[in-house]
Amino acid sequence: MDRRLEGKVAIITGAGSGIGRAAAMLFAEAGAALVLGDKTEAVNHTAKAVIDAGGRAAALQIDAGVEADVARLVALAQADFGGLHVAFANAGISGGMAGIFDSTPELFSEVLRVNLIGPWLIVKHAGKAMADAGQGGSIICTASVAGIRSGAGGPAYSASKAGVINLVKVSAQQLCETNVRVNAICPGLTETGMTRPTFDYAKDKGVTHKLGKLNPLRRAAQPEELARVALFLASDEASYVNGQAIAVDGGLSSSHPVTRQLPGQTAV
């Protein structure tokens, strides 16, 4: 049985579905007590699933981009479970695929508020709680391959995720000597609540076989595959991993756009 997080207390935002829900189940199975946050009522269903499986969890409906809500999550972890060791800033929104000329300041502001300010608030409040406790800890932020280079999201989303990648690097340095590590995971195409329209469209058109075909593994990811990397970063197994953005994308970001060369063909 995997008990890598035995005795740990973890916060997960965006826990109502997708990667956050998968992480909640894995973290609980590994022994962590959980404080789960999400904007939707689905966070309560995740908490119930954890408890029904024998784990410990508390849930709050929160807006991950509102400072008072993030502070409530940290306070609940300390009050209900006696501390905080792991924080997974996973909540995010896509903002759609509006281009540079079609985007509005309001769209950019909202995407940045949730996707970038939200993780910063987790670093600010959870990081301080961990530093003050003097026992170290791990903060994980969900970025995206869209933050590495273009082609995987709209301008607002891509800019917000590039900001998350830089945020974890700066935060790792700012938390120097606290033994609080800050890292990011960068998902490729993953079947989650946020990407459901893409998957539903593919199902309606009968082209689900084309999803994820641009990466070398030739498929999309499942939330559990991302959650397992988050679990590694949360655990002491990643004790020397800090300030990194780890792409979990089937190899998509390993290459620039090319004409795919099959065995026996000559490169163009």
Output the CA–CA distances (angstroms, integers) from residue 208 to 66, 153, 187, 195, 217, in the order listed. 36, 19, 19, 13, 15
Of 51, 13, 10, 50, the residue nearest 34 (C-alpha): 10
Detail the DSSP E strand segments found in 39-188. 56-61, 86-89, 137-142, 180-187
Tell which residue, 51, 48, 68, 69, has the closest CA to residue 60.
69
Annotated catalytic residue within 42, 157, 226, 230: 157
CA angle centred on 106, ends 126 and 111, rounded to 5°: 35
CA atoms within 13 Å, Cβ hemisphere of 225? 16
Amino acid symbol at 151:
G
The amino acid at residue 99 is G
240 assigned to active site:
no
User: Which are the catalytic amino acids?
Assistant: 157
